[in-house]
Copies of this chain bind each other. A is one copy, B any other.
């Protein structure tokens, strides 16, 4: 029956420029995001979609698999596909290079290396970075400025065993984050975001009053389980906003 009803349904059958796969996907996503198909609702079976769109199963399978990959639907054998009920609000957190971020705001970016120290890992480094004691590490402290005002204090620890090239770099002019983004791939990252009151030394570096609320972003990255770097960025609170934007259709 499918064969007769679809006749010679080539690709350009009722083609309005976009791929059939995309049209089906847009239709289904639209119904889900509009609320027409609420969480828990059963999406039509593959064979039903085959009939409505007069196409083969592989095409609708690609659509549904794709929606399942992005988490918009859940699929269960024998049961069907169901609009998933989102358990968490998940969002894509964009953590750009600080230089790019500052310039994106249309402000002048400044950078100053405050301290650089190569050492064998101490106990605190072991805890922070997750490397063995005495592994060579590079500790960096630097300040990022926006419009000639302190914008962030960066406190970074680099695992030289994983990234020996870091020793050849001149971090007095090149921010370590910029170099890392371009040269060191990672497979896993963890972020912690919290708030703290500026103590006296921190307040001095950031040129704010003691006790000012600051936003703290800590990031650790690994490559296949091996620690790469741990960084702590402290921003004067009122100046800084982390922004995350999410569109599920991505």
Q: Which residues of B contact A189 (CB under 8 A)?
A: 89, 91, 245-246
Interface residues of A in 172-193 (CB under 8 A from B): 181-193
**Complex-state Cα separation, A87 to B192, whole angstroms:** 21
Which chain B residues border A212 with CB–CB below 8 Å? 197
Closest CB-CB distance, A90 to chain B, in whole Å? 6
How many residues of chain A have a CB within 8 Å of chain B?
Answer: 62
Nearest Cβ distance between residue A11 and chain B, in whole angstroms?
A: 16
Establish whether residues A190 and B245, one from each chain, have CB atoms under 8 Å apart when the complex forms. Answer: yes
Instruction: Check: A242 CB closer than 8 A to any chain B CB.
Output: yes
- Number of identical monomers bound together in the oligomeric complex: 2
Chain B CB within 8 A of A205 CB: no
Q: Is the CB of B88 within 8 A of A185?
A: no
Residue of B nearest to A235 (CB): B195
Query: Which of A32-40, A73-81, A106-114 sits within the interface?
Result: A32-40
> Does any Cβ of B come within 8 Å of A196's Cβ?
yes
In the complex, which of the residues B88, B90, B94, B237 contacts A90, with contact meaning CB atoms closer than 8 Å?
A: B94
Q: Which of A123-131, A132-140, A213-221 contacts B (4 or more CB under 8 A)?
A: A213-221
